[in-house]
Structure 1
Amino acid sequence: MTKAAAFFDLDRTLMSGSSAYYFGKAAYREGLLPLPRLLADGVSGLVFRLFGASDEKSEKLRDRILASVAGHEAESFRRLCPQVVEEILPRIRPEAQALLDMHAEADRDVWIVSASPVEIVEELASALELTGGLGTQSEIVDGVYTGNLAAPFCYGEGKAEVMRKLMAERGYEPTSCYAYSDSASDLPMMQLVGNPVAVNPDRPMMAVAHRRGWPVIEFNRQQKRVMRWSLSTGLGAVAGVGGYGLGRWHGRRRAAALLAQPRRMRKR
């Protein structure tokens, strides 16, 4: 069988809002982040939830995170990860969880790819019983964060770079892989795979999806379990997403019939 994977953006795709805010919240509780910084991140998180983020805002967030951890022992921030994940888990959209489950049932590896710190992304992927997580790596020297990056910033072209490396290491066939994101900033990631899917897309992403005939999924804003596929993709979009897209919402029996593949044995 061809080795394939599904890659999911985190913020505004799997969850509403910004995961980085919950990282800051946990750091503040432990005395690792001043209140003014937390309040600023809270406002930024609200704006992000409503309108998304520009490249400039994302780079500023990267710099704030790097500055926040600089000089601190890596272990002190690693201890925060379970707290952060505990706050994020209830914010994973039910519709997104169904997509994660369906790819797992189709025996595909499932990865989260996010600009958030890799420690959080890996912890979240483990909690969701996914294959793994890719995130932004901060440099650590003698157990202390230096405030510099240890790898490409996992955003924009940086996401594509870390995905490309992983796909080569794992032997994934790009044309058989899937990618899900809301933002045009993730176009480099989307263009790596044969099955890109726009989720709650911003306007630039929506325009690209329509132009290229990509499937578009929009979750109900009140987070009800409602799914609407864009008219531009029609029924062909459902087939293009592996014939499994709506199965979860019509019941597990229907999903099983669509998948017709063995369920993946998960590690507990």
Structure 2
Amino acid sequence: MRDSPSRLTTSQNSSTMPEMSDDRPGVQETPPVAAFFDLDKTVIAKSSVLAFSWQFFTEGLLDTRTLLRSAVTQLSFARSAADADHVERLRRHITTMCQGWDVSEVNRIVAETLDDVVRPLVYSGAVDLIDAHRQKGHAVALVSASGQEMVEPIGVMLRVDHVRASRMHITDGHYTGDLDFYCYGEQKAAAILQIAQEHGYDLDLCYAYSDSVTDLPMLEVVGRPTVVNPDKHLRRHAEDNGWPILDFDREPDPSFATAPALAAAVALGIGAAVGCGVGIRLTRPRRTATASVGLHL
């Protein structure tokens, strides 16, 4: 298995990178700390929902026209800054695309194909960063505007402790095209506040990572924000405020558990596994986080 160093650069010198406190039992008496990660273009290189478009097409959930429209939307998402207008167009496309789908079919397709679809998209720098937080005893959370049907299995794959994601309204086992909860903007920050209140995290000591200026509420609710692969507006804001800036390489190189193991975990109950912090072990050899990520530990 190739063990190349994570490809990551910073726009500031290493002394300005976020310094991680040590929250392991017996190391020091501090309130529990968590690191909150956006998902799309922060941990993975694409929209997690649109990444499954081909699988949905082959299973008959998408027709050719919608598949092509999804491809165009994905390309636009990859190349454009995720401003509010762009995110709203993406939301409308996804909710319209999913209207009428059988929820059990979506869960089955995601469980069976997650390893092949998502694993190649995960930034190795993000995996190293998550590992670094775990080594310091920090909890890890995914907080994403994407649907929980995609985000929760990815949370299992990454062994995160908490997941908050958008929830589509379901009637008679099918999506209606409406949202019960849209984990975006201020609502994403509210989700972080809820997690912190439930688990006693001191947000002044917590970390947050995102790529989009639309996630400023998420970044500003914690004491240690860092921007990852930022759009130009967020990069400017980070520079003006002295926030660390990370740029992960566009060639993800992770290695996770095998598809059968992941599918088994999903079948046993994604929500329960994520809620308890139980997931699939990362099988890639652990590298020194200081060298590969450049953080002061």
- TM interval, shorter chain, is 0.7 to 0.9
Task: Give the 3-state SS of the residue equivalent to 1:115 in structure 2.
Answer: strand
Matched, 1:250 2:294: no
Q: Structure 2 regions of 5+ residues with no counterpart?
A: 1-29, 255-286
> Which secondary structure does the structure 1 equivalent of 2:197 belong to?
helix
Instruction: Give the Cα–Cα distance (whole angstroms) in 1 for the partners of residues 172 and 292 of structure 2.
Output: 52
* Pair 1:124–1:223, CA change in 2 (3 A): closer
Aligned length: 235
The answer (yes or no) to whether the contact 1:113–1:134 under 8 Å persists in 2 is yes
Deviations 1:199-242 (CA, angstroms, capped at 9, x unpaired)? 111111011111111111122345699xxxxxxxxxxxxxxxxx
**Partner Cα separation in structure 2 for residue 223 and residue 138 of structure 1:** 29
With structure 2 as the length reference, what TM-score do the two structures score? 0.72
- Are the aligned partners of 2:226 and 2:246 in contact in 1 as well (CA < 8 Å)? yes
Offset of 1:247 from its aligned partner?
5.0
Matched, 1:103 2:144: no
> Is 2:73–2:90's contact at 8 Å kept on the other side of the alignment?
no
2:36 pairs with 1:7: yes
Matched with 2:54 is: 25
* Regions of 4+ moved over 4 Å: 221-225
1:158 is matched with 187
Cα separation, 2, equivalents of 1:103 and 1:16: 21
Identity across the alignment (%) = 35
Partners of 2:45 and 2:86 in 1: how far apart? 17
Alpha-carbon deviations, 1:118-142, whole Å to 9, x = none?
1110100101111132211011233
Hey, what's the Cα distance between the residues in 2 that align with 1:138 and 1:55? 20
Q: How does 1:16-165 map to 2 (within 5 A)?
A: 16-82=45-111, 83-151=113-181, 153-165=182-194
Please give the alpha-carbon distance, in whole angstroms, between the structure 1 residues aligned to 2:115 and 2:186: 26
Change (3 A) 1:72 1:218: closer
Does the CA-based 8 Å contact 2:123-2:251 persist in structure 1?
no
SS of 1:80 mapped into structure 2 = helix
8 Å contact kept, 1:126–1:132: no
TM-score normalized with structure 1 length = 0.80
Partner SS for 2:230: coil
CA drift of 1:251 comes to 6.8
Q: Does the 8 Å contact 1:16/1:92 carry over to 2?
A: yes
Residue deviations 1:110-163 (CA, integer Å, cap 9, x gap): 111111111110100101111132211011233222221112x11222211222
Contact 2:37 2:43 in 1 (8 A): yes
Q: 1:189 is matched with which residue?
A: 218
Give the RMSD, CA atoms, in angstroms. 2.4
Query: 1:212 aligns to what?
Result: 241
